[in-house]
């Protein structure tokens, strides 16, 4: 009998944990799950909450994996900086502190990378050894699994596809760089652009539907489906530049599949996968292009990926 492990997705607003059967597949591998709000009282309050959640799922866990926002030092499992977590504005030795509390091995990874590992190994990427997972949300996150293993890289930079240069000298990205992919397809960037165009005199349902509130994924979907010219212009350009970035990944490391998830990715569903597949057919080299799939694990991708991280820790995953 295989022994279950616990995967934890530590987010800025909630902590989600799952007890995972290593022999299970997809969402069927989740034996039990639990969530709690993320405390805002500093490092100890957050670690207390993670410990309590893990013990609810498994009073004596054998291994725990955790995905956190921010920059994770692969060799040590320290979280160097995670502005979305209270008290994580300086390095926190998450691996060691949780191992002391839980009495079992703990593996720590960046949340985007960990969710990519989840989709690659337990979700839409099952059957492929080489998978790029792309999360279209507020920004653009991605993770790369090569030969079945999460690629971190010497600087932890692998999968930072949101900062791929797709337009030299182009729009300014949230990171300060120019012409980065995220400046063309991240929801925050798209909203800023739509509001700029509106202020310059272009009428658009994007602003009419959103009003003064946040321009949510469903607003982009409604305006796009209604044929709103600004929504079409912005998103079609964004999807095309996403395909440019994916083609460049494909000819660099050769991938079998691209998995698309995230709030905007899920909203657009078949539309984004069809657009991407079509652009890849046009742009791909030598008639070879990766398969394109929608993410299938939803909110469970992070916890399932964290569980995989724990299982595979012995294989030197960061």
Please, are residues 293 and 260 in contact by the beta-carbon 8 Å criterion? yes
Strands 78-81, 71-73: pairing is antiparallel
Nearest distance from residue 69's CB to Zn ion, in Å? 17
Residue with smallest beta-carbon separation from Zn ion: 173
Nearest distance from residue 146's CB to Zn ion, in Å? 23
Nearest distance from residue 110's CB to Zn ion, in Å? 16
Closest to Zn ion by CB, 161 or 280: 161
Structure tokens at 261: 């998830």
Closest to Zn ion by CB, 185 or 243: 185
Please, are residues 229 and 204 in contact by the beta-carbon 8 Å criterion? yes
Closest to Zn ion by CB, 92 or 166: 166
Gap between the Cα atoms of 109 and 72, Å rounded: 6
Gap between the Cα atoms of 107 and 117, Å rounded: 13
Secondary-structure breakdown of the chain: helix, strand, coil percentages, each rounded to the nearest 5? 45, 20, 35
Closest to Zn ion by CB, 14 or 172: 172
**Span 175-194, contacts to Zn ion by CB under 5 A:** 175, 177, 180
Closest to Zn ion by CB, 56 or 188: 188
Strands 257-261, 291-294: pairing is parallel
Q: From residue 105 to residue 144, what is the string marking binding to Zn ion with x (rule CB under 5 A)?
A: ----------------------------------------
293 forms part of the interface with Zn ion (CB under 5 A): no
Q: Which stretch binds Zn ion (CB under 5 A): 46-54, 148-156, 161-169, 203-211?
A: 161-169
Gap between the Cα atoms of 301 and 293, Å rounded: 15
Name the packing angle between helices 229-253 and 187-199 (round to 10°).
150
Nearest distance from residue 108's CB to Zn ion, in Å? 24
How many other β-carbons are positioned within 10 Å of the β-carbon of residue 23? 9
Closest to Zn ion by CB, 39 or 262: 262
Closest to Zn ion by CB, 185 or 307: 185
- Of 18, 30, 32, 21, whose CA–CA distance to 65 is shortest? 18
Applying CB under 5 A, the site for Zn ion has a residue count of 5
Nearest distance from residue 173's CB to Zn ion, in Å? 3
Structure tokens at 66: 């955790």
Residue whose pair of structure tokens reads 């498994």 in the numeric block: 58
Out of 95, 121, 149, 163, the only residue in the binding site for Zn ion (CB under 5 A) is: 163
Nearest distance from residue 192's CB to Zn ion, in Å? 14
- Of 68, 148, 153, 115, whose CA–CA distance to 312 is shortest? 148
Nearest distance from residue 297's CB to Zn ion, in Å? 27
Closest to Zn ion by CB, 191 or 289: 191
Nearest distance from residue 180's CB to Zn ion, in Å? 3
DSSP annotation of 11: -
Bridge partners of 73, per DSSP, are 78
Q: Which stretch binds Zn ion (CB under 5 A): 11-19, 158-166, 224-232, 265-273?
A: 158-166
- Of 19, 84, 89, 86, whose CA–CA distance to 47 is shortest? 86
Binding footprint of Zn ion on the chain (CB under 5 A): 163, 173, 175, 177, 180
């Amino acid at each position: 009998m295989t022994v279950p492990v616990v995967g934890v997705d530590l987010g800025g607003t909630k902590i989600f944990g799952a007890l995972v059967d290593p022999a299970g597949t997809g969402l069927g591998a989740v034996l039990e799950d639990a969530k709690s709000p993320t405390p805002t009282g500093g490092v100890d309050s957050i670690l207390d909450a993670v410990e309590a959640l893990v013990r609810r799922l498994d009073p004596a866990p054998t291994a725990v994996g955790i995905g956190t926002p921010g920059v994770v030092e692969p060799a040590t499992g320290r979280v160097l900086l995670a502005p979305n977590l209270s008290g994580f504005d300086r390095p926190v030795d998450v691996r060691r502190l949780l191992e002391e509390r839980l009495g079992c091995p703990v593996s720590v990874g960046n949340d985007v990378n960990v969710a990519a590992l989840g989709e690659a190994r337990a979700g839409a990427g099952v059957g492929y050894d080489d998978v790029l997972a792309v999360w279209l949300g507020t920004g653009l996150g991605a993770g790369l699994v090569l030969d079945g293993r999460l690629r971190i890289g010497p600087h932890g930079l692998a999968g930072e596809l949101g900062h791929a240069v797709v337009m030299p000298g182009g729009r300014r990205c949230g990171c300060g760089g120019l012409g980065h992919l995220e400046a063309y397809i991240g929801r925050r960037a798209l909203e800023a652009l739509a509001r700029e165009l509106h202020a310059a005199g272009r009428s658009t349902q994007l602003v009419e539907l959103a009003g003064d509130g946040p321009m949510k994924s469903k607003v982009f979907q409604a305006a796009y489906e209604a044929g709103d010219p600004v929504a079409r212009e912005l998103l079609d350009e964004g999807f095309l530049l996403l395909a440019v970035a994916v083609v460049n990944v494909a000819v660099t490391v050769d991938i079998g599949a691209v998995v698309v998830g995230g709030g905007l990715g899920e909203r657009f569903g078949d539309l984004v996968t069809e657009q991407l597949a079509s652009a890849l057919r046009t742009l791909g080299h030598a008639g070879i292009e990766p398969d394109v799939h929608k993410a299938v694990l939803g909110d469970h991708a992070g916890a399932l990926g964290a569980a995989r991280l724990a299982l595979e820790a012995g294989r030197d995953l960061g």
